[in-house]
Structure 1
Amino acid sequence: MKKILSFWIFLLLVIITLTSCSFRNTQEGITITLSGWQSNTTEKQLLDQVLHKFESQHPNIKVKHEVINDQYMDVIKTRLIGDAAPDVFYLDSFEAPLLMKYEVLEPLNPYITPQFDLADFEPALLKAFQLKNQTYGLPKDFSTLTLFYNQDAFKESGITQPPTNWEELRQYSKKLTLDKNRDRRVDQYGLGITPELSRLAFMIKAFGGSIVDQKGYAAFATPEGLKGLQLVIDQYRQERSSAQPSDVGANSGSDMFGQGKAAMTIEGTWAIPYLKETFPNLDFGITEVPTINGKKGTIAFTAAYVMNKKTKHKDAAWQLISYLTSKEGMKAVSTGGIGLPSRKSVLTELGYANNPLYAPFIKGSSYATIWQAGEHLPTIYTQFNNQFISALIGEQPLPRAMRRSQIAANKEIRAAN
């Protein structure tokens, strides 16, 4: 009897020990993956510093930070299908409607407490990640589009102030388009353009056009929508005072502007640290996008931290998201100036509204259109870009190109529905 009793006591102690070890390993060994993209090395350095502080405050959680710069959303979608997606990841407002619709994201409402102060977020940014009264993501930062202009180029051409409307912009562009070496080759264009829907959507809206109709189908090829886009075509083809990056051997609008190949360009906040680091001698100013048809317009870009619905560590994932989007975490990451903080209190505390380089972005946020137009915007975006380039280089008239892209996009949308 004593031997049997001793055996069961020994067995019980073994079970308790193993359970204790298992519990301890669970508490101390949680590793969650955070996936996102990287605009530049400064952004990663700032985020890594914040993640290090998070880990020091949460010793039971380790964060594996994964940077995916090539085909980011294709990678994320593939992993979601294969149940191998990260626990937490960046989600652009552009892609959010589709993922919210198919319920692959964890709703955050049960985790958000009054102390988290959800009301501190810019409402329009937060709304981009909400569906049917559920919040699926918390915006980490944002940027609008503004006009960058070369101060020295303006002075050399006798221009004393930036353009306030599109007519002035076109006049300035002609004056700023120069053959500096007199070899019948343009060395500096007035305006550098990025011929993509994400940079032209506000021009479609300027005369009453729309990217999509009420049912989510492409609707940009209307007379109203074409009127704004025609301004871009005419300046590029007839006036020859604008250029796209590929025309001048540049890889982006920022690069073209920094090299002095364009005296003006329309870009976001991400261009500021890039220009300062890559072209330190460039003297540039920033102003709001000139009005078109008497209307102010720009686009607001934002991305959120979201949680994979199938993560096995939901509490830990929420702790990471809540820390990164807390006032403390957001303030630390936002000091780099790559994106503006989405919390109103942090935006005020960091004084961006008083900085002449950043103030125009903040002013634009009051009338900006969020870069989002339903779950089929990625399809519309691709079809638009393909055909608009064709019109820009003169392969076909703009109305025909836009009708073709609209028809192709809507064919895909109907098939998906």
Structure 2
Amino acid sequence: MKKVFGVGFVSALAITTLAACGSGSDSSTGTNGDVVELSFSAWGNPAELDVYNRAVDAFNEMQDDVQVTLTGLPNDNYFQTLTTRLQGGQAPDVFYVGAENISTLMSNGTIEPLSDFLESGDSYVTEDEFTEDIWGASRNDGIVYGLPVDCNPILMYYNKALLEENNIPSPQELYENGEWNWDTFEDITGQLNESGNHGYMQESGHGAMLNWIWTNGGEFATEDAIVGDTDGKTMEAFEYVDRMIDEGNFTYAGTMPEGQGIEAMFMSNQVGFVSAGRWLTPMFLDTSIDFDYIPFPSNTDEQIETANIATAYMAVNSKSDHVEEAMKFISYYTSTDGQEVRLDGEGNAVPSVVGIDEIVLNQDRPEHGQYLLDARSVGRVIGLEFTSPGLSEDLEDIYELMMLGDIDAGDALEQATAKAKAAVE
């Protein structure tokens, strides 16, 4: 769930964070009389932080002896900042950790195992209330180390006005007519490029590449092996992305100036399509931009193909002075009640617990919220690749070289699979 913010927002968060955490761990895990004060950190744009605080406020109102304070951290270098503070004893009591990074914290013992607490009477949620396919790398040998905050099936956002200005057919009509495919997307993004706009913002994370691998019916990895170098469909996906960037249909997001992330590009009407989960929706709803969702174009006979489901986990700092209270809070935040408070209406994600998917549809815009649930139903979280600490960063470095034109698609796939095999096999 990568998010990039403008310079002003990052600077403001940095100042807030230094004020909150700069004086040592005691200041963030102290007590006020008989009230335990817990510190909670997460990444997020300003609209998302408002969503997070719905559950924080609800929890605080329910408690007499525990109060939680949320501090936002910029996404840029979030995990590096977190690990530095964990090592220095200045980390918050609870925090978000990305699916690609949780294995690192599990291996170095800096987060608490949660399974026993989930079985206790103090927990607001049990393990079996979550969808079974959501755990990814957060569960090892049957032990849970992070609770799925929610989930975000990745789909595309498109700028309706920009497409209309360029006489481009509605993606909705193309999708409904079975014509929403790679060839059509190439035509549309090429037309946007020719008109002086950006067609699609391509990011370099492993999930961003899997979006194309999976919509081509390919596999980079199975449950227990890396297979991308022997899968022709995976090679086709690498070649497609490489060619689309080379021809200008796609723009590699890493080449944009600082402060010009995919959100800023979209909100300034410079790009037709970006991909993300629901997390961009609250920010976009605060603007006048006319947008909607559409699933990723498929290059198979299926109308909608496997979607990458991004997720983050809530973890408890093993050095917290209030581990039990911290576990109680994250169990509420990720419970049915906690997720309903956060995600109903204009929320930023799809539930990771069963039974409340319909709350995603309780908003008027964008029109096709059902696509989030459709993508969820055919999606899956990244598994094997995220079980190896640091592998996601290594893969991203390789993909970036391809997107910058330093290596071709064949070299990128060869290097990526070799790196992944060495890490997990």
Q: TM-score range by the shorter chain?
A: 0.7 to 0.9
2:252 to 240, 244, 247: 244
**Corresponding residue for residue 390 of structure 2:** 379
- The structure-2 alpha-carbon separation of the partners of 1:120 and 1:348, relative to structure 1 and needing over 3 Å to count, comes to farther
**Kept after mapping to 1: 8 A contact 2:402/2:409:** yes
Query: CA RMSD, aligned part only?
Result: 3.2
Question: Does 2:330 correspond to 1:321?
Answer: yes
Query: Does the C-alpha gap of structure 1 residues 84 and 205 become closer, same or farther in structure 2, counting only changes over 3 Å?
Result: same
1:343 aligned partner, one-letter code: V
Question: Structure 1, residues 3-33: CA drift from partner, whole Å, max 9, x if none?
Answer: xxxxxxxxxxxxxxxxxxxxxx898142222
Residue 138 of structure 1 and its aligned partner are, at CA, apart by 1.9
Map 1:6-405 → 2, pairs under 5 A: 28-37=34-43, 39-69=44-74, 70-113=76-119, 116=125, 118-126=127-135, 128-162=137-171, 163=174, 164-179=180-195, 187-206=196-215, 209-212=218-221, 220-222=228-230, 224=232, 225-238=234-247, 240-245=248-253, 251-277=260-286, 280-295=287-302, 296-335=305-344, 336-349=346-359, 351-352=361-362, 356-375=367-386, 379-405=390-416
What stretches of structure 2 of length at least 5 have no aligned partner?
1-30, 175-179
Q: Is the 8 A contact 1:198 1:371 kept in 2?
A: yes
What's the CA shift string for 1:178-212, capped at 9, x where partnerless?
33xxxxxxx21333322332211132345565444
Q: What is the identity, as a one-letter code, of the residue corresponding to 1:175?
A: Q
* Counterpart-to-counterpart distance in 1, 2:140 and 2:33: 33
Q: Rate the CA distance shift 1:310–1:252 in 2: closer, same or farther, 3 A.
A: same
From the superposition, tell whether residues 360 and 311 of structure 1 become closer, same or farther in structure 2 (CA, over 3 Å): same
Q: Which amino acid aligns with 1:351?
A: L
Aligned position for 2:25: none
Contact 1:94 1:372 in 2 (8 A): no
Query: What number of residue pairs does the alignment pair up?
Result: 378
Cα 1:98–1:303 change in 2 (3 A) is same
Alpha-carbon separation, structure 1, partners of 2:35 and 2:190: 63
TM-score normalized by the length of structure 2? 0.77
Residue identity opposite 1:55 in structure 2: N
**Letter of the structure 2 residue corresponding to residue 195 of structure 1:** S
Structure 1 ranges of 4+ moved more than 6 A: none
CA drift of 1:346 comes to 3.3
Identity, in percent, stands at 19
Structure 1 or 2, whichever has the larger Rg, is 1
**Does the 8 Å contact 1:202/1:369 carry over to 2?**
no
3-state SS in 1 of match to 2:169: coil
Q: CA–CA distance in 1 between the matches of 2:326 and 2:210?
A: 35
Question: CA 1:337/1:405 → structure 2, altered by over 3 Å: closer, same or farther?
Answer: same
Asked if the contact 1:33/1:64 (under 8 Å) is kept, the reply is yes
Asked whether the 8 Å contact 1:157–1:176 carries over to 2, the reply is yes
Return 318-327 or 389-398, whichever deviates more.
389-398
CA separation in 2, counterparts of 1:28 and 1:339?
A: 35
Residue pair 1:254, 1:267 contacting (<8 A) in 2 also: no
Q: Which amino acid aligns with 1:241?
A: N
